[in-house]
Amino acid sequence: MSDDADKAQIHEAEFLARSMAGAKSAGGPEPVVIDGALCCAECETKIPPARLAARPGVGLCVACQEELEKGARESGEREKTRE
Ligand SMILES: [Zn+2]
């Protein structure tokens, strides 16, 4: 279906734009939009509304966020600000 291909292309462009913008602004990835829902920038799992309410602008699901923070702590590269 061309419809799906279009969505995939939009998604890809959006992901690139957002990941570049997110890198300099929030210090973390921004969520991708799939079928109108905000999804994890890493694994594309839908981010629960409760999580979005608690962490506005969060771009990762809980699992990926933990991975990111774990990796950042271990490598000591990019420290995330604690909230
Ligand atoms: Zn994820």
* Distance in Å, CA 66 to ligand 1 centroid: 9
* Distance in Å, CA 55 to ligand 1 centroid: 15
Has residue 37 been placed in a domain?
Answer: yes
| CB contact at 8 A, 40 and 59 | yes
Provide mean pLDDT across the span 72-83: 66
The distance of Cα 47 from the centroid of its chain, to the nearest Å, equals 9
DSSP 40: -
Has residue 80 been placed in a domain?
Answer: no
Question: Smallest Cα–Cα separation from 65: which of 82, 24, 10, 17?
Answer: 82
Has residue 83 been placed in a domain?
Answer: no
SS3 at position 34: strand
Has residue 66 been placed in a domain?
Answer: yes
Has residue 56 been placed in a domain?
Answer: yes
pLDDT at site 27: 61
Q: Which domain holds residue 70?
A: 2-75
Has residue 31 been placed in a domain?
Answer: yes
Residue for token pair 């933990």: 66
| CB contact at 8 A, 14 and 21 | no
Has residue 63 been placed in a domain?
Answer: yes
How many domains, in total, are found in the chain?
1
Has residue 82 been placed in a domain?
Answer: no
pLDDT digits over 4-36, tens only? 767 777 777 777 776 665 544 456 788 999 999
